[in-house]
Amino acid sequence: MPVRIELNGESREIPASISVRQLLEHLELPADRVAVEHNRTVVPRARWAEVVIEAGDRIEVVHFVGGGSGGGLGGDGGGLRIAGRSFDSRLIVGTGKYATHEIMAEAHRRSGAEMVTVAVRRVELKRGTGRSLLDFIDADRMTILPNTAGCYSVDDAVRTARLGREAGLSEWVKLEVIGDERTLFPDTAGLIEATRVLVKEGFVVMPYTNDDLIVARRLVDAGAAAIMPLGAPIGSGMGIQNVAAMRILRERVTEVPLIVDAGVGTASDAVLAMELGADGVLMNTAIAGADDPAAMADAMNHAVRAGRLAYEAGRIPRKLYATASSPAEGTVR
């Protein structure tokens, strides 16, 4: 006897009270790349065959889509270290806004990045089950970092992180709790609360935050594995607008990596972020939105490495007046 349920926010009729596994088979969805929530509780894969869906139940089926945020130049002598894992590249890239998956894959290759963010989203049930975004990510080289982009509450962010982990990719999460739709600035109070919850559940949490030192300190105390302050609004391409605040963060946040997230528009912005002492930079729009994404990815690869080398080398002091480079002795007069 058919029953009616709510599936990904829409009313839908299914043939009968069936198990989660049977539902996925009925929908012809790839079971290896989705996660399922039953009445707001994540269903572990091991229980898909035993959890039965009844009339009136609410089901969410999610997968991974583009999001923000071998090959390349290799390391800079130290590399980026997060939660005990080491990465040669200090550049983290995204998967959103590319014209095609093929263009994205080439940009990833030329970026030299070893970590890539993906967004957790509902499966579009009316679309065919062709090649997935994940088919175009070199999983042998790149660590996939699920993010909670688009979440405006602690509950939504925590649920999304749990679904991302259940989908089988990672217990790592780039945590976003958005507080304002127009600026996409973070809800810092919610961010701290969500960090505490997810850290207790064993997640490696990398929160997207503002440039407030006090918020950063509280995120560290909550167990964040990295602090990811914005340089400017997401997708704005304005470059680093808060240089003084970034310097303060670099001086006062030393327990975990500091990764600039959002606002980078071109290679010089990435250089500046690294020269300020950032441990890494996450970007998506600056590469995906360029006229030639692959070429821009190559530029960002060089920029991040050059900026880090310059920071480690130590710049000369700024002076108001000139200082001659050539010796004065022996000058012809």
**Residues taking part in catalysis:** 174
Tokens of 187: 């809800």
* Angstrom distance (rounded) from CA 148 to CA 159: 9
Calculate the alpha carbon distances from 321 to 42, 146, 316, 318, 326 in Å: 65, 50, 14, 9, 16
